[in-house]
């Protein structure tokens, strides 16, 4: 964080913004230049921050979102309206899933607006773009006043760090180089819990835990966002309470941990996990979003009178609401109470099992056979990225280890996340081993961001699941509908077209296994595995989801 004693004398608004972004550890920004933001781009080019040019603005938004998920804060920099409005969907997803992305955008200069001329890119009013992002971000500001600009930058960036949601900063192009003629001292923001509410909440929760016979923890994605994974493990191990995770929270604890029982997904999850969780007499929901996907299309059967619900936004112990208590403080205070509930036995075989690969054959490749082959490669350094559809549902059956990351827009469920997210993750962690699983429909939306991946020499393994279209929709709504079909591409030829990497085309178990092994051992560039699948093939998770969700469609 920043040194509050550093002088800001002589700094322009653009220079101060760059300094503050660096204070938060930001090293890279994604985006596409345009005339309203070019002067700030020139300033970025002279700074230590690396500017990553993307092929589309929405891809830059997805990349910044994924970067934020593994790095702590991301940023995207685009021009006015044609650039800004193009990233609305990416930023909406980041807001929905609590990913702190800073949206930096240019706009017409204040002097250009005199007499209200119609300027290019403008939509309706000069404030239209900012008005849109006020609905998609937790804090916004137009840096149009030198007197308040530095203070507004501090306020907005603090909101991103505090609430783990996107924020928006609009910089008129004639303000970038303006040097405020007032002094500014950065004040380190502090967030403290109400001490009385904190003590009372922790004490009540500890009493409930001590008296519970079948306690359970459901861990959610906020434990990722606030870097509370270690605190989760310490609490679980100190109390002996079993842990399940939500889809969004997958990999918050290593899935080989003896206290981990699997993903809790309501009726779309494994029956034995669902029963074990729902027969609990006390459930600690820690950092968990109460969403339909997380909770199995609302098939979850969780009695609020048996729940302790703690997130960054609210704390409820049974029916008692406590205000002014942060999630990190609550978890620390709860651990300090040292509750000792009775040890709950975990039935043998309940935890996620890694099926052996066995003998690979010349039989047609299926999703179910792919999972153990990928599982075999996972270790502490592997990051798995899954797009929406059976890419996600099959990937939930992977067993993550150590502090492995699992990234997917599993709540907002925007198709096309995975390829630009791969760029974001590789930019944040160039030495990490990244495997991305993407359906052919999602790939055709944003897959050309592979061009940027090739340009930077990154080496992910990209698996394209080709089932001839939008496979999940086929399972949700029976019928041979033309709108679920897409034009076939030669995905394995893309490395030749893009000038880097290696492509593989596979149809059988043996071909996939050999291609995967070859790709895994190749660190010279990206690998694209074009996996042909039957349009009747699906994971067990998708089968369960379709059975439940199809009734409502």
pLDDT in tens, 215-248: 999 999 999 999 999 999 999 999 999 999 998 8
pLDDT at 298: 41
Farthest-apart Cα atoms in the chain, separation: 75
Least reliable range by pLDDT among 280-289, 392-401, 442-451:
392-401
Does the pLDDT value for residue 146 go beyond 90?
yes
Dig out the tokens for 440 from the structure. Answer: 């052919």
Residue 412 has what pLDDT?
Answer: 76
Instruction: Region of 416 please: left (phi>0), alpha (psi -120 to 50) or beta.
Output: left
Token pair belonging to 340? 């000792």
Q: Is the pLDDT of residue 390 over 50?
A: yes
Amino acid 442: pLDDT = 94
Residue 548: band (very low, low, confident or very high) from pLDDT cuts 50, 70, 90: low
| Mean local confidence (pLDDT), 64-87 | 94
Which tokens sit at 514?
Answer: 């050999």
pLDDT of res. 486: 81
One-letter-per-residue 3-state SS of 47-105: CCCEEEECCCHHHHHHHHHHHHHHHCCEEEEECCCCCCHHHHHHHHHHHHCCCCEEEEE
Looking at every residue in the chain, the average pLDDT score rounds to 89
Share of the chain above pLDDT 70, in %: 89
Say which DSSP state 36 is in. G
The pairing of beta strand 502-506 with beta strand 433-439: unpaired
Helix axes 149-163, 13-23, angle to 10 degrees: 20
The percent helix, strand, coil of the chain (3-state, each to 5) is 40, 15, 45
Give the per-residue pLDDT at 296.
Answer: 47
Asked whether the predicted pLDDT for residue 536 surpasses 80, the reply is: no
The pLDDT of residue 1: 55
Is pLDDT larger for residue 451 or for residue 173?
A: 451
DSSP H or E segment with residue 106 = strand 101-107
Tell me the pLDDT tens digit for each residue of 166-212.
999 999 989 999 999 888 878 777 778 999 999 999 999 999 999 99
d(CA 249, CA 245): 6
CB neighbours (10 Å) of residue 341? Answer: 19
- DSSP characters over 330-399: HHHHHHHT---PPPPPPPTT-S----------SSBP-HHHHHHHHHTT--TTEEEEE-STHHHHHHTTS-
pLDDT, greater one: 111 or 44: 44
pLDDT above 70 for 336: yes
Between 421 and 268, the higher pLDDT residue: 421
Q: Which of 60-74, 195-209, 302-316, 535-549 has the lowest mean pLDDT?
A: 535-549
Q: Has this prediction a pTM greater than 0.85?
A: yes
What is the average per-residue pLDDT within 408-427?
A: 92
> Rounded to an integer, what distance in angstroms lies between the CA atom of residue 54 and that of residue 505?
27
Each residue of 370-379: pLDDT tens digit?
999 999 999 8
> Residue 297's pLDDT is what?
39
Is the pLDDT at 291 greater than 70? The verdict is no
> Which pLDDT tens digit goes with each residue over 247-271?
889 999 999 899 999 998 866 678 8
How do residues 49-71 score in pLDDT, each as one tens digit?
A: 999 999 999 999 999 999 999 99
Burial 40-59 (b: 16+ CB within 10 A, else e): bbebbeeeebeebebbbbbb
Question: Alpha-carbon distance 384 to 436, whole Å?
Answer: 6
pLDDT at 547 > cutoff 80? no
- The rounded distance, in Å, linking the Cα atoms of 144 and 230 is 42
| Segment holding 157, helix H or strand E | helix 149-163
Instruction: Give how far Cα 39 sits from Cα of 42, 79, 199, 506, Å.
Output: 5, 11, 51, 48
What confidence score (pLDDT) does residue 300 get?
Answer: 54
Q: Is 204 exposed, middle or buried (0-12, 13-18, 19+ CB in 10 A)?
A: middle
Q: Look-up: residue for tokens 């020499």? A: 457
- Greater confidence (474 vs 387) lies with 387
pLDDT at 540: 72
Give the 3-state secondary structure of residue 218.
Answer: strand
Domains and CATH numbers, the chain: 13-172 (3.40.50.970), 195-336 (3.40.50.1220), 367-542 (3.40.50.970)
b vs e for 244-253, b when ≥16 Cβ sit within 10 Å of the residue's Cβ? bbbbbbbbbb
If residue 209 lies in a helix (H) or strand (E), which one and from where to where? helix 195-211
281-285, 483-487, 545-549: least confidently modelled range: 545-549
303 close to 279: Cβ distance less than 8 angstroms: no
Say what the pLDDT of residue 13 is.
Answer: 94
* pLDDT score, position 481: 60
């Amino acid at each position: 964080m920043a040194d509050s004693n550093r002088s800001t004398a002589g700094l322009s608004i653009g220079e101060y913004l760059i300094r503050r972004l660096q204070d938060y550890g930001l090293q890279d920004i994604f985006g596409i230049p345009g005339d309203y933001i070019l002067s700030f781009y020139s300033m970025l080019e002279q700074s230590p921050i690396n500017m990553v040019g993307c092929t589309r603005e929405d891809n830059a938004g997805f990349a910044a979102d994924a970067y934020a998920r593994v790095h702590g804060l991301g940023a995207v920099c685009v021009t006015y309206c044609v650039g800004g409005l193009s990233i609305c969907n990416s930023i909406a997803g980041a807001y929905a899933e609590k990913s702190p992305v800073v949206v930096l955008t240019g706009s017409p200069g204040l002097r250009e607006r005199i007499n209200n001329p119609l300027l290019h890119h403008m939509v309706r009013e000069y404030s239209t773009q900012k008005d849109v992002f006020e609905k998609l971000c937790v804090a916004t500001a137009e840096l149009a006043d030198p007197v308040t600009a530095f203070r507004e930058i501090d306020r907005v960036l603090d909101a991103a760090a505090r609430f783990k949601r996107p924020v928006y900063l609009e910089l008129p192009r004639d303000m970038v180089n303006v040097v405020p003629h007032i002094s500014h001292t950065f004040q380190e923001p502090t967030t403290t819990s109400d001490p009385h509410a904190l003590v009372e909440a922790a004490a009540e929760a500890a009493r409930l835990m001590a008296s519970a016979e079948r306690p359970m923890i459901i861990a959610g994605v906020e434990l990722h966002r606030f870097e509370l994974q270690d605190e989760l493990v310490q609490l679980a191990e100190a109390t002996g309470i079993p842990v399940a995770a939500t889809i969004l929270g997958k990999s918050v604890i290593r899935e080989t941990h003896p206290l981990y029982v699997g993903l809790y997904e309501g009726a779309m999850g494994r029956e034995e996990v669902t029963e074990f969780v729902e027969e609990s007499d006390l459930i600690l929901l820690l950092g968990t979003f109460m969403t339909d996907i997380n909770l199995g299309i609302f098939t979850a059967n969780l009695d609020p009178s048996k729940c302790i619900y703690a997130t960054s936004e609210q704390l409820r112990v049974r029916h008692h609401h406590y205000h002014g208590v942060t999630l990190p403080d609550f978890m620390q205070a709860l651990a300090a109470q040292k509750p000792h509930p009775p040890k709950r036995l975990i039935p043998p075989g309940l935890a996620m099992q890694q099926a052996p690969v066995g003998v690979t054959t010349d039989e047609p490749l299926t999703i179910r056979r792919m999972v153990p082959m990928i599982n075999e490669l996972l270790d502490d350094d592997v990051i798995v990225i899954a797009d929406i559809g059976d890419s996600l549902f099959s990937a939930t059956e992977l067993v993550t280890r150590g502090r492995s990351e699992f990234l997917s827009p599993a709540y907002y469920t925007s198709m096309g996340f995975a390829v630009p997210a791969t760029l974001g993750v590789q930019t944040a962690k160039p030495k990490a081993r990244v495997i991305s699983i993407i359906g052919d429909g999602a790939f055709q939306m944003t897959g050309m961001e592979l061009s940027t991946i090739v340009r930077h020499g990154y080496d992910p393994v990209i698996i394209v699941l080709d089932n001839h279209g939008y496979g999940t929709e086929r399972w949700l709504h029976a019928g041979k509908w033309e709108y679920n079909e897409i034009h076939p591409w030669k995905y394995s030829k893309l490395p030749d077209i893009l000038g880097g990497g290696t492509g593989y085309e596979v149809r059988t178990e043996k071909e996939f296994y050999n291609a995967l092994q070859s790709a895994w051992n190749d660190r010279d560039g990206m690998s694209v595995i074009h996996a042909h699948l039957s349009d009747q093939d699906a994971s067990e998770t998708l089968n369960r989801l379709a059975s439940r969700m199809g009734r409502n469609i």
